[in-house]
Amino acid sequence: MKQIITEKEILVALERQTFLIEQRITKNGYSFEEACELIQGALLHLNDIHTFAPKFLSKQHLERFELTLQDVQNAPTDLFKRYVNPDDYNKSIILIKDVLLKHKRKAVGFVQRAAIDPVKGLEPLYTTSRIYNKQPCLAGITIPLAKVGKVTNKMVRALEETNYMKMNYHKFASLTPRELEIVPLLALGYQNTEIGEQLFISKATVEQHRKNLKRKLEIRRFVDLIRFAQAFDLI
């Protein structure tokens, strides 16, 4: 299986994960806590966009730092000072302010040393952060660098989907609101008559939409339609 070994590839894979979390929260009404269950082997967190204090830490995060939600709520400004190397923390704040807040980039990645294990001392962690617009705040994913190989192996599929999205986003952007309704129904195996009944349009209209979609998406096989719908979170 392909290995993700470069920092750029790790950032792309993790950025894809934060995108999926936000999509599921926005479209399906999930809480951030529920969406975090989608990610395995990584630490999820929300941070205040102004003070950078943690607003939410995933269960994995709490367990790794031996914290409780009450700890986070009672002393949010002290948490990073307790665990993260001060120089690394200050550099990451400068980077976030410059890249995300000033230049409006989608995501930023950086390394911080944190005292997760008292025996091991400071351990390097890789974090990617992006602006989470619903609150707004910063949504981040952190993985121990020592486990990058194992964790990112699980993200190979996510990386491949990210590349697929980049190559096909122009097709997604070209779809009309009606076509965006029809694509998931087609991908779920609905027949023309069933789609027409559900959307209150004629069978002939559905057939015309199918022809237009086949041309726009350049799809020849049913499996290609399913992949497109899954990549853009339509099903």
pLDDT in tens, 190-232: 999 999 999 999 999 999 999 999 999 998 888 888 888 888 8
Q: What is the CATH number of the domain that holds 195?
A: 1.10.10.10
Closest C-alpha among 80, 18, 85, 87 to residue 48: 80
- The C-alpha atoms of residue 156 and residue 135 are separated, in whole angstroms, by 30
Confidence of residue 64 (pLDDT cuts 50, 70, 90): confident
Q: Which two tokens stand for residue 231?
A: 């990549």
* Residue 207 within a domain: yes
Residue 151 has pLDDT above 70, yes or no: no
Residue range 104-121: average pLDDT? 73
pLDDT in tens, 123-147: 887 787 888 766 678 888 777 766 6
Q: How many domains does the chain have?
A: 2
* pLDDT at position 209: 92
pLDDT for the residue 160:
55
Residue 130 sits in a domain whose CATH number is 3.30.450.20
- Exposure letters 141-153 (e unless 16+ CB within 10 A, then b): bbbbeeebeebbe
Is the CB of residue 152 less than 8 Å from the CB of residue 4? yes
Instruction: Pick the more confident residue, 101 or 221.
Output: 221
Based on the fold, state whether residues 139 and 47 are members of the same structural domain.
yes
pLDDT at 57 over 60: yes
Among 234, 168, 175, smallest CA distance to 210 is for 175
* Chain mean pLDDT for the chain: 76
pTM of the model: 0.52
Contacts of 42 (CB under 8 A, 6+ apart): 14, 17, 60, 141, 142, 143, 151
Same structural domain, 151 and 46: yes
Say if residue 20 is in the same domain as residue 75.
Answer: yes
CA angle 199, 200, 205 (to 5 degrees): 85
Shared domain for 115 and 36, answered yes or no, is yes
pLDDT at 30: 62
Domain hosting 187: range is 175-231
Q: Hey, what's the torsion of the CAs at 60, 39, 26, 140, to 10 degrees?
A: 60
Mean pLDDT of 70-75: 74
Domain end among 106, 123, 157: 157
Task: Please state, in angstroms and rounded to a whole number, the distance separating the CA atoms of residues 24 and 34.
Answer: 9
As a whole number of angstroms, the distance between CA 190 and CA 201 comes to 14
Give the range among 25-34, 40-49, 109-118, 201-210 with minimum mean pLDDT. Answer: 25-34
**Is there a single domain that holds both residue 28 and residue 142?**
yes
* SS3 state of residue 56: strand
Helices (H), the chain: 7-28, 32-36, 59-65, 69-74, 76-83, 86-96, 148-153, 156-174, 177-187, 192-199, 203-217, 222-231
- Which of the four pLDDT bands, split at 50, 70 and 90, describes residue 74? confident
